[in-house]
Amino acid sequence: MRLRGVRGVAALVCVVALRAAQAQTTVETDAGKGVTISSEDGNTKINIGLYGQFRFQELRRDLWRRSNLTQTFPPFSTENAGRTEPSFQVRRLRLIAQGSLWKSWVRYVLEVDLAGNDEGLRSIFIPAVQSEGGVLDFPGVNVTQGVQEQDGRSLKLLDWYVDLAPKPAARARIGQFKVPFGRQELVSDNRLQMTSRGIASDFFAPGRDRGVMFHGGTDTQIVQYKVGVFNGAGLAQAQNLDKSLAYAARLTATSSGPYLDIEDIIYQPPSLGVRFQGGISWYQSASTPFRLNPQIPESEVRNTRLEGDVGIFFRQRANIFVEYYQRKIEVEQGFDLPASCYGAFIDGRFSCDQSGYTVQAGVRLSGTDHHELSARYSWIDNDRDLDKDERSETTLNYAYYFFRHTMQISVSVSSFEIGLNAEGSSGFAVKLANATANFLDDTAFPGLQGDKNLLGTIQFQWTF
């Protein structure tokens, strides 16, 4: 009897608490905007949303390789064993919770990727062992585990931050979020005009990191600023492992209203008219790479990036974006240069200048919100002092919106050209694997060329 009585009281308390909560809160649902629960005064609220992207893609890519492995010295004969790779992918599956707490200006965002799997390769170096007299008993070895790019993890924290925004001119953000650099990188994945970002944005934008940022703007937000300090390691490691931090700043201006971090034409406000907007970004970091071999001296790697962008919105009819990037990498020891600057390493240079740009435009094909056509050209020069190391992307994309972003399907065709001396080309890998030949001597690899790849994508996006 006593147990039943306790259960009855507990049940009664739960019912009373639920009714009280229902009396003091409101619940709203809207297609594509999730579920919003807010307090009676509206100061405390939470919005829970979900979106996913499922795609089928077929990649036809070049694959250069040695055709005769018995050849010891150059010239080496090569062949193109190109292949076709069809695949289904859960491109993204994001759960997002956001809202305010206590005060309407104390805001928070939590975003989790339920399909993320890029924790990367783990590696341990076992140093050499020498006996008395300097005799080498063990030469040392690297032990690695996991796949080079992915290790199959299925949950990844993307964003978690708190925004304190008491005044339009002075706000503060703390946590894990996107570094304020690059226009396209700052556009949410589910609001991109195409199925993916341009290659220049992926190459130059630092992406997410952990840190603090101050931001704000004028009362009308025509001019906005963002200034932040970050670990400088992105999400590749849990904490900063050296004495240096990274710094970023972004300044934007528009002809009217706040800067719009959107690409899709259907998201352009009906009253937008014709609007011009532009921004400039700066990012600088310095790091001391961790040495797997303790006998190699430490050195500093300095990384400075600049970005400028211009966008024009033509009512709810069309838009166009232009974005330009520059990056300078400076090192104290040549082997600290990234693979994209391999030409600088073999030339004996201790710096590498990189540049790139993206031009993208879109147009609505009818008077409804259903059809949108867009095109993009993106280009990268891995090293401005090296030939045949450029990369380019040309993409044509068609999107059909069943009901705005709640449900859409996109079809795109992309052509990628990767220079013979550019990181990522199969020809680059062939040259790198045969150290007996001069990397820049094309006569050592007769017939070897850069890659020309073709990618077709069909992507379905659903937003709750």
Residue-wise pLDDT for 176-217, tens only, equals 999 999 999 999 999 999 999 999 999 999 999 999 999 999
Tokens of 50: 């979900």
Residue-wise pLDDT for 321-348, tens only, equals 999 999 999 999 888 999 999 989 989 9
Amino acid identity for residue 454 in this structure: L
User: At residue 283, does pLDDT exceed 50?
Assistant: yes
Confidence grade of residue 123 (pLDDT, cut at 50, 70, 90): low
User: At residue 66, does pLDDT exceed 60?
Assistant: yes
pLDDT of residue 121: 45
Before 74, cis peptide (omega within 30)?
no
pTM of the model: 0.85
pLDDT of residue 252: 98
Buried b (16+ CB within 10 A) or exposed e, 157-173: ebbbbebebeeeeebeb
What sections of 279-364 are H helices per DSSP? 342-346
Q: Please, are residues 399 and 372 in contact by the beta-carbon 8 Å criterion?
A: yes
Domains of the chain listed by start with CATH number: 43-120+148-463 (2.40.160.10)
Comparing CA positions, the residue from 434, 431, 363 lying closest to residue 399 is 363
Sorted by sequence, the CB contacts under 8 Å of residue 408 that are 6+ apart come out as: 399, 400, 401, 402, 460, 461
CA gap 311, 360 in Å, rounded = 10
Sign of CA dihedral 271, 188, 317, 279: positive
Q: Please, are residues 452 and 427 in contact by the beta-carbon 8 Å criterion?
A: no
